[in-house]
Amino acid sequence: MSVTLHSSLRIGRYELAHRVVMAPLTRMRASEPGSAPTSLNARYYGQRASPDGLIIAEATQISWQGKGYPRTPGIHTDEQVAGWKGVVDAVHDKGGLIFLQLWHTGRISHSSHRPDRGLPVSASAITPAGQAFGSAFERLPYETPRALDTEEIPEVVEDYKRAAARAIFAGFDGVELHGANGYLIDQFLQDRTNNRTDQYGGSIANRVRFLLEVTDGLINVCGNERVGVRLSPFGTVGDIGDSDPLRLFAHAIEALSARRIAYLHLIEPRANAGVRDEANLDAPASVAALFRRAFKGPLIASGGFTKLSAEAELKSGTVDAIAFGRAFIANPDLPHRLAIDAPLNAFDRRTFYGGDERGYTDYPALASLRGVA
């Protein structure tokens, strides 16, 4: 029987009822100050939960050092853990599953987000192109980051481990390591942002070391069946790049496969992760197809899929599940709509980042459109 979006799938220790995954989506609606989720966030995620369906919650900083945008949530204080528990409960009440994406933005940040006003940190002191978000949503020139000392790196690994432990304490079913889109893990991986001369720089094996140390730390806390990793091979978001991305990411993905993690989540670069409208035509047509043989476990792909293109990818065997982003923003009942070929609400990009319930929890489900109580 042909695999469809509504075929079941085993992910780690969990049996999913369908393969429509909610992608991690930064919405900038946590409390400020505090960076804690609120009842509004719980309502948003609860609306999008479905029985045995997987939600990957938005990128969540592991420390104040890791914060890069206004009103993004953290998972490093008791207040934040309490806020996330409300989110998790709302999803579990609907029978859903939820993983938390763990995030350190590295150089894609600004000192205004740091309580100590310290510079952003990175693999190397290389300034990104473009502009940062300041703490009040203003656009500011990026600052030249401070390169992490070799001796500091184990403490960042510990920050990831502590964040994972707090996520499990809050009730999350697992965690996803954000290794994509030019943030700190990616800054160590790629030679555009890593010119280190210690054991974390130079060779591909050295540049992959930080990714694997963090992944191993998460496995030690959660178990490999509750850890996923997201990567963006050939991506350009965050002014990132590498001189030999095929060899780099093949090495990284083979190493992750050997660890038997719950899943690998790849962003298709031609869609630019929904960050930009224009396609990256210099990238391969499909990184999922390119690296399928390197990863033996479940593979999730994201990046501009429609129902038609998603079903084609699943049928080909290239991927095992599809993560939807903007379609999930505008359609809280997206898995059901896709199952019955119902029309989709249009999204309003003006309300993607920051704000209140408008463009967040006020998109209607089919039942409300039809007047069903």
Could you tell me the pTM of the whole model? 0.96
Q: Could you tell me if 323 and 54 are in contact, meaning their C-beta atoms sit under 8 angstroms apart? A: no
pLDDT in tens, 305-350: 999 999 999 999 999 999 999 999 999 999 999 999 999 999 999 9
| CATH assignment at residue 354 | 3.20.20.70
Q: Mean pLDDT throughout 251-279?
A: 81
Task: Give how many domains the chain has, as a whole number.
Answer: 1
Could you read off the pLDDT of 108-160 as tens digits, one per residue? 999 999 999 999 999 999 999 999 999 999 999 999 999 999 999 999 999 99
DSSP-assigned letters across all residues of 179-206: --TTSHHHHHHSTTT----STTSSSHHH
Instruction: Look at residue 280 in the predicted model and tell me its pLDDT.
Output: 60
The answer as to whether 358 is a domain residue is yes
Per-chain mean pLDDT for the chain: 95
Residue 89 has pLDDT above 50, yes or no: yes
Is 360 annotated as catalytic? no
User: With bands split at pLDDT 50, 70 and 90, how would you rate the model's confidence at 370?
Assistant: low
Q: In this structure, what are the phi and psi dihedrals at residue 158, rounded to the nearest 5 degrees?
A: -65, -35
Q: Is residue 1 assigned to a domain?
A: no
Residue 2 forms part of a structural domain: no
Local confidence band at 284 (pLDDT 50, 70, 90 cut-offs): confident
Q: Extract long-range pairs of 357-360: CB within 8 Å, 24+ residues apart.
A: 357/40, 359/329, 360/27, 360/29, 360/40, 360/44
The H or E element spanning position 266 is: strand 263-267
**Predicted pLDDT of residue 174:** 98
Q: Is 4 inside any structural domain?
A: no
pLDDT per residue as tens digits for the range 156-189: 999 999 999 999 999 999 999 999 999 999 999 9
CA-to-CA separations, 139 to 61, 182, 197, in angstroms, rounded: 20, 18, 33
**pLDDT, position 342:** 97
Task: Give Dmax (Cα) for the chain.
Answer: 64
Residue 146 and residue 154: Cα distance in Å, rounded? Answer: 16
Least confident range from 1-5, 22-26, 175-179, 330-334: namely 1-5
Kindly state the average pLDDT of the residues 71-82: 98
Residue 117 counted as domain residue: yes
Location of structure tokens 């280190």:
196
> Strand, helix or coil at 296?
coil
Q: Is residue 342 part of a domain?
A: yes
Q: What does the alpha-carbon distance between residue 238 and residue 371 come to, in Å, rounded to a whole number? A: 44
pLDDT score, position 247: 98
**Residue 282, pLDDT score:** 73
Q: Residues 44, 69, 160, 183: which is the catalytic one?
A: 183
Q: Note down the domain range covering 347.
A: 9-369
**Of all helices (H) and strands (E), which one includes residue 30?**
none
Q: Is the pLDDT of residue 279 over 60?
A: no
Residue 3 maps to a domain: no
Amino acid 355: pLDDT: 97
Residue 9: pLDDT over 90: yes
